[in-house]
Amino acid sequence: MSEFPPCPKCQSPYVYEDGSLLICPECAHEWSPSEEAENVKVTRDANGTELKDGDTVTVIKDLKIKGSSSVVKVGTKVKNIRLVDGDHDIDCKIPGIGQMGLKSEFVKKV
């Protein structure tokens, strides 16, 4: 149908080009095609190192678990993380606790 990518705001497939901009007729959003490459989210740990899916990280601060008396201790090693969007950057499985979401600011890459 169209060789242009869908609108980043409303995902409409009816995008058209006007000069150097791409325009969505449904939500009137205008953007530059070069902007799309710049919008890639990079997740970094507490030291500024880039994190990727499958990395191993270590917790750098005691983290209380909401609704439980358990605590994730400093130095807990978490293997095979998965990066996600949302208020928590990392989905992982912590040994002895189970499935959990962590913020990248409380971990460092091993």
| pLDDT (tens digit per residue) in 45-72 | 999 999 999 999 999 999 999 888 999 9
What does pTM read for this prediction? 0.64
Query: Taking the CA of residue 70 as centre, how many other CA atoms within 13 Å lie in the half-sphere pointing to its CB?
Result: 11
When mean pLDDT is compared across 2-6, 32-36, 87-91, the lowest value belongs to 32-36
Burial classification of residue 110, based on how many CB atoms lie within 10 Å of its CB (0-12 exposed, 13-18 middle, 19 or more buried)? exposed
Percent of the chain with pLDDT over 90: 65
